A and B are shown apart, each in its own frame.
Chain A
């Protein structure tokens, strides 16, 4: 065999080059460009040379202090995300606990998983329009259903009321995503060392104890992943509220993405304002992601590392491996 004299390390750079180039052109440059536009007076259909404002932070100030619509969009985004994420996570956890419990041995699991995941695969715009038609007033399928069941006498104008409109948008998000979260969590549970569960059952732990003492703590990484992807998804929520009610009634389902889209592309061409709003959204997602990484960090593991660091060198190396 030939001795390894040739260095192949340059291929590391070559093979990741397409990724880097595409990132620089299609992500990094547009983000920087967006940031710059946020400091300018760029508006209108015909592009003008870039002109930085005398007071560069004017757009940001206007948005945060003088634009009730933008503030509302931020609040709505947060509200819609929390009201769909919390029940989504709880239901997904419950189903995970059921489906992974060997003693319960639920039959038809495969079919349940397939059906519960199904709403996630269909185009969000189809689902938005579909639900818009289902909740139609005065005669729509849901209204018919409610009257058939005797829940109401008069048809309900679901889409005119702020609370029900928000509730429905958040329900659709919940309905589309809990199946996905469930499957991810189930996979996480399957990845936990079975010996942990065995020893717990030998020690006489009941279902609740096993779930809260073993399953949940072992799922930390997966939960962090779900939390962060869901948060980025929630911050950029667009298709459902846009096509369901176009932000109405009275901006109660207007999200930040819709605000950005509305400012820049729906006839007003306020690129500077939209860009500043994008940057605020970007900052919020960065701060929240950082915060979650910090809060969900493995405290026990960190402590353990400290202790082991003082111990033997080999033990230290092993602890790093984990």
Chain B
């Protein structure tokens, strides 16, 4: 590095100060709403109404009691969301890897058109087909069933796209040929040799598929009408309902309960999540 004139170094110091101030303010802006949420979950409704505080109070248990009294069943919601999100994630990563492998490893006539087709499907918003989807599921008798929330996950074009890019970069076809020589069937080769090779890509996509399915509100709201089938986001939406209107403490408590597991998972996996967003973004 060459030496700089003094004025430039002063300038840079000012610049850097501005940058740090902006970054720190943005970081505070990210944390503050959640902080208020956790703090208010421990405060009583009169305390919350009397003004803002950044320090927790002692009403956590009473808020929790009020919340649970009003037929808010976070455990049930958790179970439902978990069943849906994890099954959908499994479908997405396995079948997308399979399709991506089919695209990369074999030379078939429709390979090019199929890839273009996947690119186009990526642009279709799910809401555009919601009415037909609902009518179809209604006729099948699949409303209030988790299957229509899980099975469509088999066709996840963005994930196929991602997996294809990953395979193009990492898969050497010699391994596949070697296992053929050893007499392994194509499916066996995929399951035992190729899929394990794809684990890093599978892991990042699994995180996103899981979070996406966990957070999905539109489809479950349309399809699930029985209380026992409600997912976490639907339960959260009920917190806005009349029975909680005056119980601010327990609303915050409910929000905190639904956000807490996501926070825990996020901070445990944040490194991979950030890397995954980055990988997923570079689509060329």
Chain A positions within 8 Å of B, measured between CB atoms, are 1-2, 8-16, 18-23, 25-27, 29-37, 47, 95, 98, 104, 106, 108, 110-119, 121-127, 129-134, 136, 139, 141, 144-145, 148, 175, 179-180, 183-188, 190-191, 221-222, 225-226, 228, 232, 235-236, 238-239, 242-243, 257, 260-261, 264-265, 271, 274-275, 278-279, 281-282, 285-286, 289
Contacts and interface: CB of A to CB of B under 8 A. Distances in A.
Contact of B211 (A15, A121, A191): A121
Contact of A98 (B19, B31, B138, B151): B19
A240 B75 CA distance: 24
B131 A271 contact: yes
23 contacts: A2-B181, A12-B102, A16-B99, A18-B95, A18-B154, A20-B155, A30-B129, A110-B274, A114-B267, A116-B27, A125-B234, A129-B255, A130-B34, A133-B252, A133-B255, A134-B33, A187-B277, A188-B282, A236-B127, A257-B218, A265-B221, A271-B135, A281-B125
Contacts of A123: 214-215, 217, 232-233, 236, 258-259, 262
Interface residues on B, range: 35 or more
B5 interface: no
B186 A226 contact: no
Interface in B171-204: 181, 186, 190
B99 A18 contact: yes
B128 A139 contact: no
Interface of B: 12, 15-16, 19-20, 23, 26-27, 29-31, 33-34, 36-37, 40, 48-52, 95-96, 98-99, 101-103, 105-111, 114, 121, 123-136, 138-139, 148, 151-152, 154-155, 160, 181, 186, 190, 211, 214-215, 217-218, 221-222, 232-234, 236-237, 239-240, 248, 251-252, 255, 258-259, 262-263, 266-267, 270, 273-274, 277-284
Given A13-B108, A187-B282, A260-B130, 4 more contacts: A98-B23, A113-B274, A129-B239, A131-B33
B229 to A, nearest CB: 16
Contacts of B133: 26, 30, 33-34
Nearest to A246: B240
Q: Is the interface of A mostly helix, strand, loop or mixed?
A: helix
Given A183-B281, A186-B278, A16 B102 contact: yes
A120 to B, nearest CB: 8
A184 B274 CA distance: 9
Given A2-B181, A98-B19, A114-B274, A15 B282 contact: no
